[in-house]
Amino acid sequence: MVQTLWLACEMEEIARLHQGEEMTANTALISLQIHGDDRGSLIALENGLNLPFDVKRVYYIYGTKPDVARGFHAHKKLKQLLIAVSGSVTVKCEYADRKKEYTLNRPDEGLLIEGFVWREMHDFSPDCVLVVLADEYYSESDYIRDYRRFLNLEKETNK
């Protein structure tokens, strides 16, 4: 009973967060324009120009130890763009019964992950620097860290 009530509250919250938006949140690879010359390459990321959302937060993951996997959560609403500016990493994504695996290994390519996508990051190369741009400040309440809870919420949402 308590579990059902809690699930109903969560569903209400997610429905409210996505009000007016179709629940098509998913993943996409985005090419970033390189300004290159004989000195090398430069990429500029600018709100409102070549980014799919306005950026409020940037963080980066580096020095990941061998055989370590990260992530293992979804977000209720957060949109993020992941760019391996150095090295490589595999990102496994799951959304509405669809699973997709991406290898990020180019500084001119970003992986857009919108809300309600389960993500796992594996096979970090020792030199991997993964830069992440996010449309919101850090908030633990936006995380769904339990896989069963993610599946239950997803099942309810897609009824």
Question: CA-CA distance, 71 to 25, in Å (whole number)?
Answer: 18
With a CB cutoff of 8 Å and minimum separation 6, the contacts of 156 are 7, 11
Q: Of 18, 73, 75, 122, which is the active-site residue?
A: 73
Site string for ligand T46, 34-63 (x = CB under 6 A): -----------------------x-x-x--
149 binds ligand T46 (CB under 6 A): no
Read off φ and ψ for residue 111, nearest 5 degrees. Answer: -100, 115
71 binds ligand T46 (CB under 6 A): yes
119 binds ligand T46 (CB under 6 A): yes
Query: What's the closest the beta carbon of residue 35 comes to ligand T46, in angstroms?
Result: 26
Q: In what order do the strands lie in the sheet with 98-104?
A: 98-104, 89-95, 118-122, 70-75, 143-144
70 binds ligand T46 (CB under 6 A): yes
